[in-house]
Structure 1
Amino acid sequence: MTLVKFNPEKKNNALLPGFNDIFESVLGDTFFSERRTNSVPSVNISESNEEYHIELAAPGLKKEDFKVSVERDMLTISTEKSMETQNEGKTYNRREFSYAAFTRAFTLPESADVDHIQASYTDGILKLNLPKKEEARAVSRQIEIQ
């Protein structure tokens, strides 16, 4: 008789023992994990009293490559870029095409004024400034002690 340990956290373990372990070790490898994280640009989100700031790192693109849209309370930033080199009259042993696309979506708070969003792209950083509505801005005042 063989004693088999049961781990309820691993699904399909009884049907394919070790399959999940192999899958997790391959996908958890640094080569694959770096590829997955590099396919989506990194984002910094900060807030001041007057507005929200979003900075998206996307070097190598032009401002025309971006599509920024707002629908209801969802801000979507996307791009699609393909590059094909054309060299007529040559016989190719190898020819490479380049294609890159991503989409990032953010749920906006109710305090964001979506009618006055400003965007700029400089030095590989897409910057968006989302002003807060007047009633959402933090009012700070000094209180006199009597």
Structure 2
Amino acid sequence: MSNLVSVPKNGSLANNNSNQNFPTLSNWIDDIFNRDLPSVFTSNFNTGMTLPKVNIKETADAFIVEMAVPGLKKSDFNIDIDNQLLSISTETKDEHEAKDAHYTRREFGYSSFKRTFTLPESVDDDKINASYNEGILNILLPKKEEAKQKPARSIKIS
């Protein structure tokens, strides 16, 4: 008789079970799927570093790629072009030799990323250049002469 359910006057079922400290299976599953994923699943797994944000803008003469990558040196970057694919990557390791072997905690530092973009046919890949200043990697992708926007002009009628 302990499994009897009392029905209140409003008609809803009330559970008088005393196991309120234990979540039901459906509550446990809802809790897992209704919360945000931990940041370890939204970043590069062993780095804590997410993919850098990129701005790409087009001018009359070129495309400009701006990538926010603070804390690196220009020697950390690898920029390659292969069959109209522009690849930007980096891999850094933070290795410190510890003279004292009695440390309680030591964390290794490693970070890497690779971003790849398909270049338009209009880019003159022989004239691409890059610079790195104050945490921003800038890559200038000049357009071929025939692809550059020509200024507007008036045509006289003869």
- Scaled to the shorter chain, the TM-score interval is 0.7 to 0.9
Separation of aligned partners in 2, 1:97 and 1:75: 30
Question: Residues of 1 paired with 2:108 and 2:39: CA distance?
Answer: 21
Q: Does 1:133 align with 2:140?
A: no
TM-score calculated relative to the size of structure 2: 0.71
Q: Which residue of 1 aligns with 2:55?
A: 44
Cα displacement (A) at 1:140: 1.4
Matched to 1:134, the amino acid is: E
Give 5+ residue unaligned stretches, structure 2.
1-25
Structure 1 residue corresponding to 2:34, chosen from 25, 39, 45: 25
Taking the aligned partners of 2:27 and 2:84, their CA distance within structure 1 comes to 43
TM-score by length of 1: 0.76
**Which residue is equivalent to 1:117?**
128
CA distance in 1 between counterparts of 2:101 and 2:82 reads 47
- Which amino acid in the other structure matches residue 102 of structure 1? F
Q: Distance in 2 between matches of 1:42 and 1:128?
A: 14
Residue 129 of structure 1: SS of its match in structure 2?
strand
1:49 alignment partner AA: A
**Amino acid of the residue matched to residue 74 of structure 2?**
K
Runs of at least 4 residues off by over 2 Å: 17-26, 31-38
Q: How far does residue 36 in structure 1 lie from its aligned partner after superposition?
A: 2.8
SS of 2:87's equivalent in the other structure is strand
Amino acid aligned to 1:103: K
Match of 1:67 among 67, 70, 78: 78
Runs of 5+ in structure 1 lacking a partner? 1-16
Identity of aligned residues (%): 40
Aligned length: 128
**Aligned residue identity for 1:115:** D
Q: Which residue of 2 aligns with 1:96?
A: 107
Residues 100-133 of structure 1, C-alpha deviations (whole Å, 9 max, x = no match): 0000000000000111101000000000000000
1:32 maps to amino acid:
S
Larger Rg: 2
**Structure (1/2) with the larger helix percentage:** 1
